[in-house]
Amino acid sequence: MKNNTNKIAPEKILTIITITAIILLWFIITGSGAFSETIIPSPKAVIQSFTDILSSGYKGHTFLEHLGASLKRLVIAYLLVIVTAVPLGLLSGYNSKVRAVIEPLVEFYRPLPPLAYYTILVLWMGIDDSSKLALLYLAGFAPVYINCVSGVMRIKSDYINGAYTLGANKRQIFFYVIFPAALADIFTGLRTALGVEYTTLVAAEMVAATQGIGWLVLDASKYLRSETVFMGVIIMGLTGVFLDKMIRMIEDTVIHWKGKN
């Protein structure tokens, strides 16, 4: 009997083919000379920009300092979202009175573009990292809160009534019935929030920032350094994929029963 443990899944093969095709298309387009290097830089120019910044830094800061500054802002805001949006979302889904207080506020600001209220945050909190963290926090709070509320409200009432019948109190029902049942939605919200925060990072680093990957991309775009812009965007994308993979690994560990009958 053949051992298939090392067999590559068809989905992974398709992913590899897709990425390879995009890179080849990039080489073909830039090699044809149909577009200016200012519009679409070649892969060689992007790699050269990365090696230059890696060795010499950019505008007085090393590459790791730029990346570290962005990740520090992102992680701090993300942790604040976890410790506030998750309990408030679960509580709002469980208690309609709490939901009546919090949900209108979330629904009001959620559709607003980050730059629309970033100026207000700067006026209130200044131009240092406080306003940037607040912007990232608000961007990540809404998706986590909404998914937590949705996760609780989708729980079948039979589960809760059954727990009451067995003698469970409200605290036990919350921690042993509602919370485990809503975990899948919680992690969906956490993954969504991470993506939203990362897309907001560039806006957060527009004002009075001197370092960060988002600031690096914005600064390079002012001087039409498209190879540096491409490099920064690729780094942000790869970092985002890595962070998302970490969350999915935690999800698979915590919700070990997910997908099983």
Domains of the chain listed by start with CATH number = 51-254 (1.10.3720.10)
* 92 vs 97: CA distance, rounded Å: 8
- Rounded distance between C-alpha atoms, residue 193 and residue 135, angstroms: 12
Q: What's the whole-number mean pLDDT along residues 133-158?
A: 91
Lowest-confidence pick of 34-38, 137-141, 221-225: 34-38
Q: Specify the amino acid at residue 212.
A: G
How far, in Å, CA of 233 to CA of 240, rounded?
Answer: 10
Q: In the numeric block, which tokens belong to residue 88?
A: 């408030």
CA atoms within 13 A on the CB side of 124: 11
209: left (phi over 0), alpha (psi -120 to 50) or beta: beta
Confidence of residue 46 (pLDDT cuts 50, 70, 90): very high
Structure tokens of 239?
């970092």
Helix (H/G/I), strand (E/B), else coil: 255: coil
Average of per-residue pLDDT values in the chain: 87
Sequence-distant (6+) residues with CB within 8 A of 140 are: 77, 78, 81, 85, 193, 194, 196, 197
Q: Is the pLDDT of residue 158 over 90?
A: no
pLDDT at 105 over 50: yes
Provide the pLDDT confidence category of residue 45 given band limits of 50, 70 and 90: very high
Question: What is the structure's pLDDT at 92?
Answer: 92
pLDDT value of residue 39: 87
For the cut 90, the answer to whether the pLDDT of residue 159 exceeds it is no
Q: What percent of the chain has pLDDT over 70?
A: 96
Q: Can you give the pLDDT at residue 47?
A: 93
- pLDDT at residue 1 is higher than 50: no
Nearest to 50 by CA among 251, 255, 230: 230
Report the alpha-carbon angle 86-69-88, nearest 5. Answer: 10
Q: Which of 147, 130, 114 is nearest to 208 (CA)?
A: 130
Q: Which of 74, 82, 67, 64 is nearest to 203 (CA)?
A: 74
Mean pLDDT throughout 105-126?
A: 88
